[in-house]
Structure 1
Amino acid sequence: MVEIVVLLALGYGMVITFMVLIMTKRMAALVALALVPIAFGLIAASPDSIGKMMIDGVTKLAPTGVMLTFGILYFSIMTDAGLFDPLVKCIVRFVKGDPLKLLVGTAVMSTAVALDGDGATTYVICAAALLPIYKRLGVKLQYMATVLLMSIGIMNIVPWGGPTARAAAAMHVDVAEVFIPLIPAMLVGLAYQIAVAAIFGLRERRRLGVLSCPTEVSNIMAVAQVPSETRRPTLMAPNLLLTGVLLYCLIKGVLPLPVLFLVATALALMLNYPKLKDQQERIASHASNVLAVVSLIFAAGIFTGILSGTGMLDAMSNSLLNVMPAWMGPYIAPATALLSAPATYALLSNDAFYFGVLPILANTASAYGITPAEMARASLLGQPIHLLSPLVASTYLLVALLDINYGDNQKASLLWVFGMVLAMIGGALLFGVIPFVSNL
Structure 2
Amino acid sequence: MGSTMIAVIGFVSLAILMWVLLKGMTSPVIPFILIPVVTALIAGFSISDINGFVKSGLNSVLSTAAMFMFSITYFNIMNDAGLFEPVIRALTPKGKANVFLILLSALAVTYVGHLDGSGATTWMIVLTAFLPLADRVGIRRPALLCVAASGMTAANLVPWGGPTMRAAAVLEMDVNALFAYILPALAVMVGLSVLTVWMLARAEVKNGAGTMIAENTCTAGDHVEPGRGGFKDWKWIFNMALTVAVLYFLFSGVMSSYLCFMMGVSVALLVNYPNPKEQTKRLKSYAGQSMVMTITLFAVAVFLGVMKEGGFIEAMASVIVRIIPGFLAPHAHWVLALIAVPMMMALGTDAFYYVMLPVIIGVVEPFGISALSVAAVYLITGTFGSSINPSGAAMYVGLGLADVDVGTHIKFSIRYLWPFSIACMAAAILMGIVQF
Against the structure 1 CA distance between its residues 267 and 12, is the aligned structure 2 distance closer, same or farther, given a 3 Å change threshold?
same
The reply to whether residue 55 of structure 1 matches residue 61 of structure 2 is: no
Query: Which position in structure 1 is the counterpart of 2:171?
Result: none
Name 1:14's counterpart in structure 2: 13
Equivalent in the alignment of 2:116? none
Given candidates 385, 398, 408, the residue that maps to 1:379 is: 385
The amino acid of 2:357's aligned partner reads A
TM-score (norm 2): 0.59
- SS of residue matched to 2:289: helix
Distance 1:30 1:110, change over 3 A: same
Task: Give the aligned partner of residue 357 of structure 2.
Answer: 365
Q: Distance in 1 between matches of 2:264 and 2:422?
A: 30
> What is the rounded CA distance, in whole Å, between the counterparts of 1:32 and 1:86 in structure 2?
42
**Worse-matched range after superposition: 33-42 or 254-263:** 254-263
Amino acid at match of 2:26: M
TM superposition shift of 1:228: 2.2
Within 1, Cα distance between the matches of 2:304 and 2:240? 38
Match of 1:284? 284
Alpha-carbon distance between aligned partners in 1 of 2:290 and 2:31, rounded to the nearest angstrom:
19
Match of 2:416 among 392, 415, 418: 418
Superposed displacement of residue 32, structure 1: 0.9
8 Å Cα contact 1:30/1:299 also seen in 2 = yes
Q: CA deviation at 1:82?
A: 0.6
- In the alignment, the residues of structure 2 paired with residue 420 and residue 335 of structure 1 have an alpha-carbon distance, to the nearest angstrom, of 9
Q: Kindly tell me: are residues 186 and 88 of structure 1, through their superposed partners in 2, closer, same or farther at Cα, counting changes over 3 Å? A: farther
> What is the match of residue 366 of structure 2?
none
CA separation of 1:395/1:311 partners in 2, compared to 1, >3 Å: closer, same or farther?
closer
Residue among 147, 155, 162 paired with 2:148: 155
The corresponding residue for 1:295 is: 295
Inter-partner Cα distance in structure 2 for 1:35 and 1:329: 35
Q: 1:67 Cα deviation (Å)?
A: 1.9
Q: Report the residue type matching 1:155 in the other structure.
A: A
The residue type equivalent to 1:418 in the other structure is Y
Structure 2 counterparts to residues 115-154 of structure 1, below 5 A: 116=124, 125-128=133-136, 130=137, 150-154=143-147
Structure 2 CA distance for aligned equivalents of residues 191 and 62 of structure 1: 35
Match of 2:264 in 1: 264
Deviation, 1:34, is 0.8
TM-score, L = length of structure 1: 0.59
Q: CA deviation at 1:81?
A: 1.0
Is 1:250–1:257's contact at 8 Å kept on the other side of the alignment? Answer: yes
**Structure 1 position 261, deviation (Å):** 2.4
What is the CA–CA distance in structure 1 between the aligned matches of 2:201 and 2:280, rounded to whole Å?
A: 43
| Deviation for aligned residue 1:420 | 11
Offset of residue 237 of structure 1: 1.4
Q: Which residue pairs with 1:322 in the alignment?
A: 322
User: 1:69 aligned to 2:69?
Assistant: yes
Matches within 5 A, 1:4-403: 4-43=3-42, 44-93=44-93, 102-103=98-99, 105-107=101-103, 116=124, 125-128=133-136, 130=137, 150-155=143-148, 228=225, 231=228, 233=230, 234=233, 235-324=235-324, 325-327=328-330, 330=333, 335=338, 339=341, 354=345, 361-362=352-353, 363-367=355-359, 368=361, 377-380=383-386
Alpha-carbon shift at residue 58 of structure 1 (Å): 0.8
CA 1:157–1:288: 2 relative to 1, 3 Å: farther
Aligned residues: 341
Q: 2:395 is matched with which residue?
A: none
1:343-383 Cα deviation digits (max 9, x unpaired): 9xxxxxxxxx7466667645323545869999984423679
Contact 1:22–1:29 at 8 Å: present in 2 too? yes
Which ranges of structure 2 fall in alignment gaps of 5 or more residues?
A: 111-121, 153-160, 167-178, 180-185, 207-211, 214-222, 362-370, 390-398, 405-410
Q: Distance in 2 between matches of 1:186 and 1:279?
A: 44
| Structure-2 change in CA distance of 1:120 and 1:20 (3 Å) | farther
Write the distance in 2 (CA, Å) between the matches of 1:38 and 1:199. 44
